Amino acid sequence: MRDLGVGFGYLLKGQRWVARHGRSYGFGLLPGLITLVLYAAALTALALWGADAVGWATPFADGWPSPWLGLFRGFLTAVLFALGLLLAVVTFTAVTLLIGQPFYDSLSEQVDRDVSPDGTAPESGLPLWRELWISARDSLRVLVRAALWAVLLFALGFLPFVGQTVVPVIGFFVTGFFLTEELAAVALQRRDVDLRARLGLLRSRKALVWGFGTPLGLAFLVPFVAVLLMPGAVAGATLLARDLLGEETEPNGSTGDTGTGDDGDAAPADGRPAPAHGHTTGTPDTEPAPGARSHPRP
């Protein structure tokens, strides 16, 4: 339960960080605005022509008597729109990060430098085109996983009572997990932590991930909120990534107290001491990832 609160705390700390860095926040709104316009157009088209699509896909019900035909197709139309909304929430982050990759990577580096005791931040050392390719490839893999979950939840939605109560709750937790993966990937890719290792890290601290990603997924359902929260979400996910890797975090940085330990040393939320150096899938506290470069705080 404590991990849930810690995860939510990182979400708030990320928003506070961008509030103190107004110029970074302003530039961070642009990729989200572009993505929002694209998704709004797609969801509007789904709302307008979703019923026609359901009618085309269910010709076997054409002869059903009233009111069963209307109820059946109306229910499927609502479920189709809900599925589209779920996929929009899950993929919004990936598309926005891809559009704004250079900016968000720079923002994440600023957060690392700000809270690192030695004022350094790891860099991948890869050219921009290579970073974009890796990001797009990993996002596609995550999207496939998220789509499989969406199909499963769509099918379970037909179960009486459970489909209208338990399944939506599970859907938000699944959404929160994949949102966190996409956001934390900005910081973890710079540390040469590949997708499989990232997923392993997130699964090892599910409560922490849910505390960060599930409230964010709920907030993203409100128009324009996703755009406003996106820069802070990247900043907060960078702090969360440091926690996952057991990296030391300076308690007096501009993000405020990280809440990871009374003495200022970063410690996992389950009370275990932070590793003195490195992580099995991450990097040492004060050294960049293999092949990465660190730059001091300006």
Q: How confident is the model at residue 15 (pLDDT cuts 50, 70, 90)?
A: very high
Instruction: Please state which of the ranges 109-113, 165-169, 242-246, 272-276 shows the lowest mean pLDDT.
Output: 272-276
pLDDT of residue 240: 94
The 10s digit of each residue's pLDDT in 79-98 is 888 888 877 876 787 788 88
Between CA 127 and CA 150 the distance in angstroms is: 34
Between CA 186 and CA 220 the distance in angstroms is: 19
The contacts of residue 137 (CB under 8 Å, 6+ apart) are: none
| Residue 96 host element (H or E) | helix 68-99
The residue behind tokens 């350094």 is 120
Is 292 a residue whose pLDDT tops 80? no
To the nearest whole percent, how much of the chain has pLDDT over 90? 20
Is 173 a residue whose pLDDT tops 80? yes
The 10s digit of each residue's pLDDT in 121-132 is 777 776 777 777
Is 43 a residue whose pLDDT tops 80? yes
Peptide bond into 122 cis (omega under 30): no
To the nearest whole percent, how much of the chain has pLDDT over 70? 82
DSSP 263: T
Is 235 a residue whose pLDDT tops 90? yes
Is 31 a residue whose pLDDT tops 50? yes
The better pLDDT of the pair 164, 39 is held by: 39
The 10s digit of each residue's pLDDT in 200-226 is 999 999 999 999 999 998 888 776 788
3-state secondary structure 282-294: CCCCCCCCCCCEE
Provide mean pLDDT across the span 253-265.
44
Between CA 222 and CA 70 the distance in angstroms is: 29
Instruction: Please state which of the ranges 52-56, 122-126, 156-160, 235-239 shows the lowest mean pLDDT.
Output: 122-126
Mean pLDDT of the chain: 79
Q: What is the pTM of this model?
A: 0.68
The better pLDDT of the pair 242, 294 is held by: 242
pLDDT of residue 254: 53
pLDDT of residue 203: 93
Three-class SS state of 296: strand
pLDDT of residue 263: 39
Is 24 a residue whose pLDDT tops 80? no
In angstroms, what is the C-alpha Rg of the chain?
Answer: 21
